Amino acid sequence: METSKSQSSLDQKEKPGPASITIPASPSMQKLGYGTGVNVYLMKRSPRGLSRSPWAVKKINSKCSKNQQNIYQSRLNEEAKILKSLKHPNIVGYRAFTEANDGSMCLVMEFGGEKSLNDLIEERNAARLGPFPAATISKVALSMARGLKYLHNDKKLLHGDIKSPNVVVKGDFEAIKICDVGVSLPLDENLTVSDPTVHYIGTEPWKPKEALSDDGVITDKADIFSFGLTLWEMMTLSVPHLNLGSSTDDEDESFDEDDFDEEAYYAALGTRPALNMDELDSSYQQVIELFSICTSEDPKKRPSAAHVVAVLEASLPPELRA
């Protein structure tokens, strides 16, 4: 994220966390996942026999070049500042921003779960279990929408990179939390990104139509489009737009670069991908309707996060609203 405000905050680097926090060497921690230039590790904390909740530690990948490490450290510093200002049960919590023994800065966060929603999608796809149950998708939808409502309405922030890898899940969907706020953008009172010095980054398959050109107006509805595609991921066990033209009868449905139709892929970006309705019974009706309206190409036709929360809270049974 390149902004004059961001640059100012980066120049005034946040002080490391408490000296009592010691970040173990990367090889001694379990690797939970990775992103662009960063790895995320599980840091267990049980000193003197006490039981303490573990933390997740985001650290710059040491294999990056020196120039890349500087860029990613700056982004991590900005993410720490944003995350520190947030507090919501459906957003991964801030714990510390501290220096590791090798001198690199580490963002220490609440441990939201060992697996991302993307991990669970891939596992379910590999086991050929078919779409997630509609009730599970609805629960994820409500949790995500609550987190987005807080970001948009309370904090005036666009997450800017909603997708299954940025949702962490605890246990059997006991808790669902949004993570990775490193490319968030400020929203004005109209929930629009009006600062001309910032730009939407996102991840290509999940980008809405308005984010595919330099002159598109970015609002809170950009997150809603990506949110809709995340529900689609749970119904199809696929990455949006990457399986264009593939046969559903194939034994091996893995992505084949040689068969990838690049022209069709770029033409499909920002549009609503199709569903295989043969795999979805009547229990999916509300989920399908929610996915459809959230992925409207016209941002004005998409609901707000607050509207999604209101509808789901009014329609779902108590056990899914908890």
Concerning whether 161 is annotated as a catalytic residue, the answer is yes
Q: Which of 102, 154, 161, 180 is catalytic?
A: 161
Q: DSSP state, 172?
A: T
Alpha-carbon span 125 to 254, nearest angstrom: 10
**Which amino acid type is present at position 79?**
E
List, in order, residues 6 or more apart from 296 with CB less than 8 Å away: 225, 272, 302
Residue 185 forms beta bridges with which residues?
158
Cα 115 to Cα 30: distance, rounded to the nearest angstrom: 12
Q: For residue 40, how far is the Cα from the chain centroid?
A: 14
Q: Give the 3-state secondary structure of 121-133.
A: HHHHHHCCCCCCC
Phi, psi of 317 (to 5 degrees): -65, 160
Q: What is the DSSP letter of 219?
A: B
Which residues are marked as active site?
161
